[in-house]
Structure 1
Amino acid sequence: MQFKDLQLNKSILKAIAEQNYDAPTPVQQQTIPLVLAKKDVITTAQTGTGKTAAFALPILQMLFNKQDAGKKGKKLRALIVSPTRELALQIQESFKVYGKYSNLKSTVVYGGTSIEPQKDLLKKGVDILVATPGRLLDLHKQDCLNLDYIETLVLDEADLMLDMGFIDDVRKIERLCPQEKQVLLFSATMPNKVVNLANTILNEPETVNATPSSSTAQNVQQLLFYVHKQHKMELCLYLLRNTIEGNILIFRRTKMGIAKLEKMLKSNGYKVNSIHGDKTQDDREDALEKFKDGSINILIATDVAARGIDINNLDAVINFDIPNISETYVHRIGRTGRAGNSGVAYSFCSADEKPYIADIHKLINTTIPVMDEHPYVLDPKAKKEVHRTPGKSKHRPGRKSEASKKNKKRWY
């Protein structure tokens, strides 16, 4: 199938051709015709499958005939709600690229930055708005945008949106839009809370399952390292010195963990930066830009901050902390080995993370090869690691050892 077979007009096809895209991906082939047929759609697809174009292209096509209708001021007709600022910026970039040869205007609004310039952009009138939930509701509260003419509402990365606590905001946004509208829901996974949301706001939706959640990237070599929690830093350094090369994305569970790892790597001369929820929008964009232009080659991130970030030519992913949700593992390693390239995923598993690895093996229906040729191998029989306060006895207060009981002279 070619893009021209999808009933897209010449100006959109010209913009696609300039990006050197020859044929639509499976998610685009299945989703675009349904969107053009004005159906509500639920699409399950991982990042990197081309899902942004799966809704951006048909939205541009449907609005194309109305692009000059509002000479006195454009009406907002398409709304895309995205959980993170980084993802919102990428979606807006796609609309700009594919809508290059149209008069359709799109913009993006998100929190963590000044609201005034965003108000000015909205005053000038836009056809398509990409927004994070909180900032969208702020702008609506201040009467800076009118959602009465929305024809298509897109909820992107719905599972992450709900994980981040946006469920009430999403429902509120849906209610602010007209009752008669098309709703498109995209999600990497379909937990019950996403299914419940879909059941309440979509009307007889068609479903597209482009990538089953258990499928792991075909071009990614997966390697598992059992290591004591206290030696993960050393193992990371050892592999960076001896094995891992190129552009590397490292996942950690907490911001504090990221800070410690970043400090250690910098002190060892590595070009590294990080992104997490506490960083300002400017700092996050700056870190991403440096990673993309090669100023740094190691980026450390939490799952929330990294979700939806599109990085080309990523050579390796390191799971410094094993995720407790199996689908997250699939999502993480799918960031490398994209677009025909190959990549490697390294996972560091401590004793208390072994149950997570067992769940991941069940999900991906295969066993990740274990690497034991490294200096920090954890005893395979270790079930858990006991953390003790230095200088403090592991026994309960007042407990006497068996030896002391035997040696004690009894008066009786």
Structure 2
Amino acid sequence: MLAFSAAVRDRAVLLRCALTPVSKQLPGLRWRSSSAGRSQSLPVIRIPRLLQLRAEQAGARGRKKLERVSVPRAGKLLIVCKRPEFNQHCRHTVAKVQQPALASQGWKHRQSFGDHFLINNTWERAPFLPEPAEQAPDQEQTTDQERQQESVTFQELGLLPELVEALKTTGITHPTTVQQQIIPYLLRGKNVLGVAETGSGKTLSYLLPLLQRLMIERKRVDEGTGPRGLVLVPSRELSDQVKTVAEGLGHHLGLSATVVGGGRGMYKAEKVFKGCRDILVATPGVLWKGLRRNMIHLGSLRYFVVDEADTLFDETFIELVEDILLEATIASSSSDHNDFDIQAQLAVIGATFPKGVGDLLSKVTDLSSITTVKSKRLHFLMPHIKQKFLKVKGANKLAELLQIIKEQATEKQASGILVFCNSSSTVNWLGYILDDHNIKHLRLQGQMPAAVRAGIFNTFQKGLVDVLVCTDIASRGLDSRRVKVVVNYDFPPTLQDYIHRAGRVGRVGSKAHCSVISFVTHLWDVELVQKIEVAARKRTSLPGMETSIKPPVSKTDSKL
């Protein structure tokens, strides 16, 4: 019993010592309060190092967030984002070596759906238009050389008065920048590779020299010798369009233009081949078959045009185009054009620089004889078009599209809407959905029979229908001046395809304030969007595109 009471007494003493403040146990130890300035006893608190690091990191994030707050600047924004911290003023310049902060940087994350950004239009007019106009405050100043180009007339370029008068009947009085660059070289008989923006007037840049040359040489050519001018295009719709332009101008000059496309049978094609004397506009497939069956000969050819060359030099057409080029005799210099040895002048035209152009052209002519003409803004984003990118789920794309169509339908002035899909099956499916919503529309895709495809784009151009759902077959060269909005329902697979689709708006003679709206869904779409955003912020050309003719690499060099 005594032992038990002693143990309890000792334990009580230990408990009192534990509860006694440190200052009483050690009178020499004092803690001073910084706020009160007097001595007081404080307990010792130990904080783990990991918790200290977390607190420091949280404080650093808070300070960084405060530093990100930007002061609004006067003027127009180049990039307008849902998150304002990624906005970029049009006067702000990003260095070429600097990696800008991107609004689409985190778009590969599943929580990014619903985000969006807009590339604003900083120019009020297209850069290739010749007519001087009042410049916006954020638009680049026009140089003296550009002002001089704007005052150039077709007659000063060397065109005959008959051609100039024919152009005036169509309302065309001044050449565009691209036409001022290409036409003089072609009139001098040079082989030309011309690459310029979509909608800049490239069709007239090769048709006018073609008509002038055929008109001058008309008296020296025997009848019944086949076409003297050949224009090769990738689609039937584009062939009909080029034929209409050539026929409208050639009618005043006594020249005829005929067109032949695939899908209508070789019996009808043979009749066209036999009746062609001046200009033939053809697609590669039917022309290749006509050459193989001896329905047509290119012995009298004096002018060969490859239009939309970046498409025709694609793997889909490259073999056919090569065989057709080898059937013609292409001149190596302007002095080769004479009455005794007939050789054709070559014009290769495109909106983007065709890949492998050097390998193919080296087989038919000397590469040194080809004059390359490029626009200053080749492979740049068009500065007069608004381009919006929406990160949406695949299930929400239809609702977004219906909203866009509804907004356009409420406008007073009716305008066209082009909806691009990546496959024919998507075009058909989307068409059924629009039918269910009682939306009048047309469909255009490559798997349609020729009889069904005929006239669809012309019906859309006349304004009878405002919505056209199509594949990339409608993105190459077709004149779509009444189109105000382009919707990429499926994001294009390459940057070249994006340039062609965006080029359906903002063309010569088209309406102002056009826009391109792109739905971004897949991870591989985000990578292309980031390249577009970087080019827009840095004001540079889109990456990964060729800008010059590369000579073919020999087999021995490739082995080395």
Calculate the TM-score normalised by the size of structure 1.
Answer: 0.83
Please tell me the residue identity of whatever aligns with 2:400: L
SS at match of 1:232: helix
Does the 8 A contact of 2:193 with 2:349 survive in 1? Answer: yes
**1:341 and 2:511 matched:** yes
How far, CA to CA, are the matches of 1:316 and 1:67 in structure 2? 44
Structure 1 residues 338-396: Cα deviation after superposition (integer angstroms, max 9, x where no partner): 236221111111142211211222344569xxxxxxxxxxxxxxxxxxxxxxxxxxxxx
Alignment correspondent of 1:357: 529
How far, CA to CA, are the matches of 1:229 and 1:37 in structure 2? 53
How far, CA to CA, are the matches of 1:179 and 1:67 in structure 2? 20
Bigger Rg over Cα:
2
**1:58 and 2:228 matched:** no
The 3 A distance-change label for structure 1 pair 137 and 262 is same
> In the TM superposition, what is the alpha-carbon distance from 1:76 to its structure 2 partner?
2.0
How far, CA to CA, are the matches of 1:59 and 1:129 in structure 2? 12
Q: Percent identity?
A: 29
Alignment correspondent of 1:42: 193
How far, CA to CA, are the matches of 1:309 and 1:192 in structure 2? 22
Report matched runs for 1:214-253 at 5 Å.
214-242=379-407, 246-253=415-422
Alignment correspondent of 2:434: 265
Please tell me the residue identity of whatever aligns with 1:349: V
Alignment correspondent of 1:289: 458
> In the TM superposition, what is the alpha-carbon distance from 1:185 to its structure 2 partner?
0.7
**1:106 and 2:257 matched:** yes
Does the 8 A contact of 1:3 with 1:23 survive in 2? Answer: yes
> In the TM superposition, what is the alpha-carbon distance from 1:199 to its structure 2 partner?
4.2
> In the TM superposition, what is the alpha-carbon distance from 1:254 to its structure 2 partner?
0.8
**1:19 and 2:170 matched:** yes
The 3 A distance-change label for structure 1 pair 124 and 333 is closer
Among residues 321, 327, 349, which one is paired with 2:490 in the alignment? 321
Among residues 349, 352, 356, which one is paired with 1:193 in the alignment? 356
> In the TM superposition, what is the alpha-carbon distance from 1:28 to its structure 2 partner?
0.9
The 3 A distance-change label for structure 1 pair 363 and 285 is farther
SS at match of 2:241: helix
The 3 A distance-change label for structure 1 pair 313 and 242 is closer
Aligned length: 367
Alignment correspondent of 1:84: 235
> In the TM superposition, what is the alpha-carbon distance from 1:333 to its structure 2 partner?
1.5
Does the 8 A contact of 1:149 with 1:178 survive in 2? Answer: no
Please tell me the residue identity of whatever aligns with 1:247: G
Please tell me the residue identity of whatever aligns with 1:209: K
> In the TM superposition, what is the alpha-carbon distance from 1:119 to its structure 2 partner?
2.1
**1:94 and 2:245 matched:** yes
Alignment correspondent of 1:147: 298
Please tell me the residue identity of whatever aligns with 1:197: L
> In the TM superposition, what is the alpha-carbon distance from 1:306 to its structure 2 partner?
3.2
Alignment correspondent of 1:279: 448
**1:5 and 2:156 matched:** yes
How far, CA to CA, are the matches of 1:329 and 1:179 in structure 2? 33
SS at match of 1:5: coil
How far, CA to CA, are the matches of 2:376 and 2:285 in structure 1? 30
**1:166 and 2:317 matched:** yes
> In the TM superposition, what is the alpha-carbon distance from 1:102 to its structure 2 partner?
1.8
How far, CA to CA, are the matches of 2:458 and 2:228 in structure 1? 31
How far, CA to CA, are the matches of 2:427 and 2:198 in structure 1? 23
> In the TM superposition, what is the alpha-carbon distance from 1:179 to its structure 2 partner?
4.5
RMSD: 2.1
Structure 1 residues 166-196: Cα deviation after superposition (integer angstroms, max 9, x where no partner): 1111111111112433211112212432343
